[in-house]
Amino acid sequence: MRKLLCLIVALMMMLGCAQALAAGDDVAFAPYEERISMTVGRANPGSVDLPEDADIEHNKYLDYICDKLNIDVTYDWIAEPSTYNQKVNLAITSGDLPDVMIVTNKGQLQQLVENDLIEDLTGLADQYFSDYILDIYNSYADKGLGSCTFDGKVYAIPNLEAGYSYSYLWVRKDWVDALGAKMPTTLDEVVELARLFMEKDPGGNGEGNTIGIAVNTRVAGVYNNLGNIDPIFHTFGSFPRQWIRGEDGKLTYGTVTEETKNALAYVAQLYKEGVLDPEFVVRTGDDFNALLLSGRCGIFFGPWWMPDWPLPSAKVNNPDCDWVPVLAPLSDDGNFYAYKQDESTTWAVVRKGYEHPEAPFKVLNQTYIGMRGFDPSVREFYPDRNVLWTVYPLPILLNYDDENVQAAKLIQAALDTRNPEGLDPQNTNFYESSVKWLDDGDIDSWHTYTSRVTASMLAGSENVKFVDNVYPARTDTMDLKLTQLEKIEDETILKIIMNEMPVDEFDSFVTNWYAQGGQEITDEVNEMYGN
Amino acid sequence: MRNRKAIAAYHLMLIPGFVLLILFSIIPMSGIVIAFEKFVPAKGIWGSKWIGMKNFEYMFSLPDSRSIFTNTLVIAVSKILCQLIVPVFVALMLGEIRSVWFKRTVQTVIYLPHFLSWVVLGGIITNMCSLDGIVNRMVMVFGGQPIMFLASNAWFRKVIILTDTWKEFGFGTVIYMAAMTGIDETLYESAQIDGATRMQRIWYITLPGILSTIVLMATLSLGNVLNAGFEQILTLYNPLVYQTGDILDTYVYRMGIENAQYGLATAVGLLKSVLSMILIILSYYMAGRFANYSIF
C-alpha cells in the first residue's frame, strides 16, 4: 500500500513538474546564454538546517539556480534580522545597493523610489513570471502589485501573504471534557469556562495557580500573533491599532473609538476579577508560551499555526493535552469578525542600472519549482534534512489569499476517502502526516493535522466576516509624532485594563491623541486613500 | 634641549590616543547637525532639509517631556547618591574586619554582579519580582499582599535604584578599599595610643584619608546625572510604568530606532550631552574649590 502511495506521489510530482514547466512559457525558464551574475542583499534566515559542509552562501540550492538559469547568485551582504532596517537604511544612504535587495519596510521602499535608486519593473511580471506565480498575483487583482505601484509604475516584486491568520480561541479540550463542560461560543461562555478552569483546576496546578485567559503585553491589534485578545474586542465592534474604513468610506484609527472604550471597560472588569492573567504586563514571550506548555492556562487566542508553534511540545510532553481551535467568541449576530492581513510586507527591488532587471523574476520562477516540490530532484539535495525554503536567494513568499483554507479542504476531502490523488506535493506531505496522526496516533504528526486541516478549515468558516481595513505607508506626521502617540496609546490601554485609570478617562485620551498629531495622521491617511 | 626632547617623546606617545579621540569622538560630532534637520537617511546629512530649532521646539512641546526629564533626574540622582554612600559604608565596615580571608571573599562576591549584563539580570529580576517570585513569597510570609513590583508606578523606581546599587556597589567598594590601604598605618597607631575609639579612628583618620577619592568619584559621577541607566530600564520596564520609568534614553530609543525619527532623537541626545557637559564643568570647578582636587 505504502509503495503504491509513494509511486502515485512520485508520478504526481512528475506530472506537476511537467505541468508547471509546460505552463510557464519558454521565457520564464529560459537560461541565459552567457552566465550572468546577480548580487543580493538580504536578511540572515538563521538556521535553515543545512549540513555542515554547506552554508547559506554555498549550497546546492544556489547551484540549482545557476545550473537551470545560468545566473550566478552571490550575496553582497547578509544582515541580521534585528538590524535589518538599519542595514537597508545604510545602503540607501550610501547609494551602494546590491543588484537585488530585499526591503521589509514600506517607508524604505518609498525612499528608494523617491531617490530614484531602483529600476522601474513595470510590465516585467507579465512578461517573465511563470504562469504558476502569475496566477497567484492575479488572484489578488489590484492588490497583487499594488503595494509597490507608485504613479502607475511597478517598482518591486512584493511577497503575498496568505490571509486567514487572524486570531480565534484555543481551548484545552481535555480540561473541558474532564469538567463535563461544553465548548464555548459566546463571549460569556468563554469567560465562564475560564472561571471554571480557575476554580476547578483540571490541570492540577494547585489552588489559585491556574490562569484564566493568557494575554500578551500588546493586548490587541497585532495581526498573525498569539496572545492578543483581539476576538474579545471584535465582539464589541472594536479593532484596536487598525485603520478601519467606515460606512462613509472614511478611515478611522481603531483604538480611538467608542467601541474600544466599551471593550476596554469589559476587559478591565475581567482583569479585576482575575480572569485575565494578572501578571501579563511583565511576561515576556517565552513566559507566555511557558503558561501554555506547562498546563497552567487552558484558554488563549491565536491564529491557525498555533499547533506548529508553540504548542507541539505541549502535546509531546503530555499526550493527553488536547488544544483545539474554536471559532469563538461570536458576536450577537452569530458572525465572527476579524480584520485582514497586510498582503505585502517584503519586497525585492532591483538596483537602478542592473543589466538584467528580469533576472530576479526568473530566479523566483525556478525557486517555486524547487520549493513547492514540482521538481523531485530538489529533494535529493540533502535527503536526510528538512531544509527551510528561506535557503533560496530571494525569500519572497507567495501564497493565495485563501491558500491554507483551500488546501485544508482538499486534504480533508482526501482524508475522507484516504485517497491523496490530485493533491500537490506540499499538501501530499500534510496529508501523509495527517494519516500518521489519525491512523497511527503519531504524536509528532499531531501538529500538522491540527494546524493544516482542523484549524485552517475553521479559519475559512462561512460566518467569518472581514472588516475593511488598510495598512497605510508611513506619513510625515507619523515620522515625527508616532512615538508619542504610541506611548499614550499603550499606556492608556494597559492602565485602563489594570484598573489604574478609570474607563472614563479614555475620552480625554482620545482628545489628546487627536490633539497631539492623531488628527493630522488621520487626515493624511484618508488623503492617501483618496478621501 | 634634553628636556624638550624628552617632552617631544611624551607627545609622540600621546598620538595614538589622539587619533582615536579624533576619529571616534570629534569627527562624529559633526553628526549633531542632524538635530537641526528633517533627516532622511537616503538624502544624507548634506541633502536633508534644514529646519532649525523645530526638533527642539517639538521636544519641549511634548506633554511628556517634563515627566521624562523628571524620571531621568530622579532615578539618576538617587543612583548617584546610593552609589556614593553604600560603597563607602561597606568599605569602612570591611576595613574593620580582621580576617583577611573573609574580607577578600566578601569583596569578590559583592564585586561579581558588576560583570553581569543587564539583559541577564533583567530576566532574573523579573522572575524574582513576579507574583510567585521569591520577594513576594517573603512578603506573604510576613502577611503582606503580593505586589507586582515591575508593573507598579509606586515601586518601579525603587526596584531600579535598588537593583542598580546592588549590582554596582562592589565596584565602588573596591576603589575605596584601595584608597584605604594608602592611609599611613602610623596614624592609627598613634591615635590608638592617644586613646581614640574605633569610631573616632574611622571618623578622624579613615574618612579624611579617603575623602579625595570620594570627591573624585562624586565628580566623575556628576556627568552621569542624565544617564539613568538605559539597558537596565529597557529590560525591566513596560508601558504601564512609563509614567515613572520612561527616561530620556528609552524615549530616544523608541523614537530613533523603532520609529526612525533620527533628527528628533539626535536633538534630545544633543540636549542631554550639553547639559551633562555643563554639569561636569560645574562639578570639576566645585571639586577644586571645596576639596582642593584637580586633574590638571
* In a shared domain, residues A336 and A226: yes
The parent domain of residue A437 ranges over: 403-466
* Residue B180: strand, helix, or coil: helix
The verdict on domain B63-291 having CATH code 1.10.3210.10 is no
The torsion region of residue B229 among left (phi > 0), alpha (psi -120 to 50) and beta comes to left
pLDDT given at position B169: 94
pLDDT given at position B295: 64
User: For the whole prediction, is pTM greater than 0.90?
Assistant: no
Chain A interface disruption, residue of B255, B258, B268, most A CBs within 10 A: B255
* In a shared domain, residues A373 and A424: no
Q: Is residue A396 assigned to a domain?
A: no
Per DSSP bridges, beta strands A149-150 and A153-154 are antiparallel
Q: Is residue A398 assigned to a domain?
A: no
pLDDT given at position B252: 85
Domain count of the fold of chain A: 3
Q: How far apart are CA A521 and CA A478, in angstroms?
A: 6
Q: What's the average model confidence in pLDDT over A69-80?
A: 94
Measured between CA atoms, the residue of chain A closest to residue B129 is A282
pLDDT given at position A438: 95
A63 falls in which pLDDT band (50, 70, 90)?
Answer: very high
Model-level ipTM above the cut of 0.90: no
Q: Which residues of B touch A117 (CB under 8 A)?
A: 42
* In a shared domain, residues A118 and A216: no
* In a shared domain, residues A328 and A185: yes
Determine phi and psi for B44, rounding to 5 degrees: 75, 175
Per the DSSP assignment, residues forming a β-bridge with B50 are B37
Q: Give the pLDDT confidence of A328-352 residue by residue, as tens digits.
A: 999 999 999 999 999 999 999 999 9
pLDDT given at position A189: 97
Q: Is residue A249 assigned to a domain?
A: yes
* In a shared domain, residues A187 and A265: yes
Contact flag A217-B243 (C-beta cutoff 8 Å): no
Q: Give the pLDDT confidence of A4-23 residue by residue, as tens digits.
A: 444 444 444 444 444 444 44
B62 shares contact with chain A (CB less than 8 Å): yes
Beta strand ranges found along A211-295 (DSSP E): 243-245, 251-253
Chain-centre distance for alpha carbon B52: 32
* In a shared domain, residues A201 and A242: yes
Q: How far apart are CA A408 and CA A404, in angstroms?
A: 6
Residue in B40, B130, B261 nearest the CB of A480? B261
Q: Is residue A523 assigned to a domain?
A: yes
Sign of the torsion angle spanned by Cα atoms A157, A162, A167, A171: negative
A177 falls in which pLDDT band (50, 70, 90)?
Answer: very high
Q: How far is CA A468 from CA A259, A281, A334, in A?
A: 16, 30, 19
pLDDT given at position A525: 93
Lowest mean pLDDT among A419-433, B80-94, B247-261: B247-261
Residue in A115, A209, A217 nearest the CB of B42? A115
Q: Is there a cis peptide before residue A310, judged by omega within 30 degrees of 0?
A: yes
Q: Give the pLDDT confidence of A222-270 residue by residue, as tens digits.
A: 999 999 999 999 999 999 999 999 999 999 999 999 999 999 999 999 9
CATH of the domain at A43: 3.40.190.10
In Å, how far is B47's CA from the nearest CA of chain A? 10
Contact flag B238-A279 (C-beta cutoff 8 Å): no
Residue in A107, A117, A498 nearest the CB of B240? A498
Per DSSP bridges, beta strands A469-470 and B37-38 are unpaired
- Asked if A161 contacts A344 with a C-beta cutoff of 8 angstroms, the reply is yes
The residue extents of the domains of chain B are: 1-52, 63-291
Residue A413 pLDDT > 50: yes
Q: Which residues of A touch B258 (CB under 8 A)?
A: 483
pLDDT given at position A24: 45
A13 shares contact with chain B (CB less than 8 Å): no
Residue in B44, B129, B260 nearest the CB of A479? B260
Contact flag B131-A279 (C-beta cutoff 8 Å): yes
In Å, how far is B247's CA from the nearest CA of chain A? 13
- Asked if B123 contacts B231 with a C-beta cutoff of 8 angstroms, the reply is no
**Residue A480 exposure: Cα atoms within 13 Å on the Cβ side:** 19
Contact flag B258-A483 (C-beta cutoff 8 Å): yes
* In a shared domain, residues A354 and A282: no
* CA-closest candidate to residue B39, choices B64, B31, A169, B241: B31
Q: Which residues of B touch A480 (CB under 8 A)?
A: 58, 261, 264
